[in-house]
Amino acid sequence: PIQGAAITVQHRIEGNTTGFGVPDTTDAEGRLVLGNLPPESEISVTFVRNSFLTVSSSPLVGHPGDVFPEETVVMYQAANVAATLLGPDAKPLANQQINVVATYADDRRINATGTTDANGVLALVAALPATDVTLEFSTSLGGERQSRLSGSSETVLQADGPNNIGTLAMTGSVP
C-alpha cells in the first residue's frame, strides 16, 4: 500500500473536462473512498507520489445511486535508464530524439521520449517503471528521405540503480 499518494479527480461531461472536489491523499492502507460524484459524467482519478510513476484509474460513468466496484491501481516506483545507442553504421546516434516504449509483463505500456548526447547516450530520469519490462527504442533519421531505426532490450529495471542497459545497435537503413 502507498500511503499519502496525492489524488485529483477529473470529471467529463459532454466533452468538457474539469476538476472535482478537494484534492485528497490515500490513507495508511493506500485506499481512497470518493462520494457525491457528479451524475452522468465520466470520472477518472489520478494518483501522484514522489519517486513513483503517475497513474490514473480506469474511467467510470455513473448514474444516481450507482456504486462502483473497488479498483486496484498499481503504482510503480520510477526508474532511471541509460543506454548507448548506435546506428546501423556502428556510430553513436548523437543528439537524436529517441522514443521509448516500455511494455510491462501484463502488456501495459508507457511511453517516454529523450535525446541522446554527443556520444549517443540516452538518459531517462524517473520516466519508466521499476519492474520487468521490454524496452523498444525508435527514432527517425534524415530530411526528405526519412528512415526509421529501432532496437529493443528485455530487462528488469531497479528503482535504486542506474539501470545502464549498455550499448544497443539500432537496425534500419540510414538515408
Q: What is the pLDDT of residue 162?
A: 79
Q: What is the mean pLDDT of residues 31-57?
A: 81
Distances (CA, A) of 118 to 31, 86, 91, 169: 46, 12, 11, 16
Residue 57 has pLDDT above 70, yes or no: yes
Beta bridge partners of 44: 10
Provide the phi-psi class of 44: left if phi over 0, else alpha when psi is between -120 and 50, else beta: beta
Cell of 163: 539501470
Q: What is the pLDDT of residue 83?
A: 92
Which carries the bigger pLDDT value, residue 1 or residue 127? 127
Which residues touch 152 (CB under 8 Å, ≥6 apart)? 134, 135, 136, 137
Tens digit of each residue's pLDDT (9 = 90 or more) over 97-138: 999 999 988 888 889 999 999 999 999 988 888 889 999 999
Q: What is the pLDDT of residue 17?
A: 66
